[in-house]
Structure 1
Amino acid sequence: MSFNSLGLSQALLKAISKKGYTTPSPIQEKAIPLILEGYDVLASAQTGTGKTAGFTLPLLHVLSENPKEKFRPIRALILTPTRELAAQVYANVKEYSEFLDLRSAVIFGGVNQKPQAATIRQGIDVLVATPGRLLDLQNQGLLSLKRVEILVLDEADRMLDMGFLRDIERIIKMMPTKRQNLMFSATFSHDIKKLAQGILREPVMVEATPENSTVDAINQKIYRVSKGKKSGLAIKLISDGNWKQVLMFTRTKHGANKLCKNLVSANISSAAIHGNKSQAARTKALAGFKSGDVRVLVATDIAARGLDIPLLPHVINFEIPNIPEDYVHRIGRTGRAGASGEAISLVSADETSYLKDIEKLLGFRIESDIMEGFEPDPNAPTEPEKRQQRQGRNSSKNHTNSRSSGGNNSRRRQNNKRRG
């Protein structure tokens, strides 16, 4: 099948051709005709499936087929969980609407709101936004959603993970009830289905997996290692392999900063991106990584969602995620567009249960190895750290209660003696 057979306008086909695309991905092939027909769509699509074009192309087609008055109210709203994803989606909207008479804008926090508000005042058809900045501008009376015809929730699962449910509910109340709704998520979890029930009208469900499966396109490997030796092992792998572009994942912002510092100390140019970094710092880090000035980009899961890094050769899970689906998201950033990729996970004893959950999701055991000098600690606990802390607190509480109980028994015995 070609894009010509999907029912898109000549202006959009021209923009698609200019980008060098000829054949739609499975998610595009399934979702585009349904959206053009006006259906509400609930789509499951992971990073690397072409999902952004899957909703951007038909959205632009619908808006261009029904032009509005001279002043342009916001007619389509695309909500994303992160600044990086908002910027990437907006870039796609701009590219695909090059030959259309449509205007678009992107708004997110961490930067001055005045230029964003000024662009909206001039009239736009498509707004790409993160929930926080959108509500800020709406509360100040700087934008209106009363004319929205199409709502897109991109990476809805991540929005729920980040606690945006209340914001989404508030935003929906600002829009007309009669509108087309599109929801894209990595999974059809219970929470996503519950959210969909409150937003979508008789939705059509669409599922698509990445064109290259994780098994075929990505060489996955695990190194069992002592927790304290992870930084040393990562430095050795990058240095010995002379890797020029590596995306590394940590579970926490503090962990990302600490790892970045260790890499820089080993003369490996690195930058970290996470929620505590300013938008300017995040943009600079990503630009440096793409240009090759930064060899290693250290990221948390939330910050990494929506990053567009073509042909990424190496992903290292410095800490494996506690949510199995996040592992697939992480390693799916390599082995794209027909290229091979490598995903290495450094697994310490306390991550054993996380690894089991990941392998259960994948349906196979990942090749495991131990590097000399970086052996795992045979005496380390195999429970996750938080669970160890909980157990420690419970043990301490029991010990205190026991002492307290013993003291009470002693006092009771003394009182009984006095009575006797």
Structure 2
Amino acid sequence: MTAVSGLLGTPPPWPLGLVTAVLAGVLLWSVTARLRLRPESRAASTAVYACCALLVELTTADGVDGRAALLLAAGGMFAAAGRRRSLLAALACAAAVALAPVVAVGILVLLGMMALRKDLLTRFPVVIRRLIGVAAIAAAAGVAALLARPQAGPAVPVGVLVVLGSCALLIGGASWLRLPWLRPPVAAVGALVLCQFLPGPDLDAVLPAAAGLAVLAAVLTEEHHALFARPVLVGAVLVGVVVTALLVPAVPLPVTPSPVADVAPVPARLAESQVGAVAITIPRLDLSGPLDELGVADDGELLAPDDPARAGWYSGGVVPGDRGPAIVGGHVDSRSGPGVFFALRSLRPDDLVEITRSDGRVARFSVTRVRQVAKEQFPTAAVYGPTPRPELRLITCGGRFDRTARSYTDNVVVEAVAV
């Protein structure tokens, strides 16, 4: 279960996230082909999705994560293939919800609207069908409320909100008025777009909403080709969207400064020695490299190294090899891929850790315990408190990635004693 939780909760390195986003676009092209739409309609849908994915990639620190959109597109493929593939479609949607719970909001609104329009549960009495439809929409609102975090600001950049909000008004509005039978998916996509304004489910809703808008754009183009009969106008709109996507990153957006939340608060302490730690070696992880010096932020949190590929020693604390707990921290990952302590939680008792000091000594430590703790319940006294012998603490991030806070929910703490 731990492995599954890590797979679902931890965002992939940005190249993998980008690849899944591209594959989702390819599947959307295939979905519109299943609907027997013209090439120009399919091109319109692909353009909408590609512009949104480009905008997210350029304006967010995490890049895109197209896994949920890829699964939803796969579900659409199975659904378009007929009843024999309906179970596979349901499984794909369930997997998408597991990766991005906000997807459940769109699915519940879709099912609720279909029930209200008599596209679903046709054999049920009208009153029961309407009650089920209203209950599904209410459940969608409940899921959104559970995912929301009122104490934090929205993580979606302003440019993404503007572009996707405008697309939702134009494409969704035209589809709602001109194609009444398309109202259930329009309502579902609209719900996902609204979720971008709720901190918590915001960023996860971007690509699924973009994928839904892409399909709506394809159907609208197919049904009302006259709306897009002027290629010059269509080209100008697409160029405008692309230029906007490229220019938004250059516009300074308000960013809330925060310390690197890789490690927990540390007590104020000054080192009594001029000796420092300069390098670390962990044979089991095939890790060997220099150590930076780490300080603390204004709120007392230990700052992680600027370079995700390097670990750092808390220079205001104990020197490794001296009596007391020495602290070494590092990133678990970054947008460019795994960090220096990506595999830290795979350490086991009795594994060796070596710290080279500036005086030429090598302090050797044996791992005694590896644990994962919630940041809100970090055992500061146990980790940083005085000890009668030289000890070492290796700290990095773990648990689920909170896109709103831009950090992980837990810490991985490795404890070791001198040998």
Query: Does the pair score TM above 0.5?
Result: no
Q: Which TM class, normalised by the smaller chain length?
A: under 0.3
Higher relative contact order (CA 8 A, sep 6+): 1
TM-score, normalised to structure 2's length?
A: 0.27
TM-score, normalised to structure 1's length?
A: 0.27
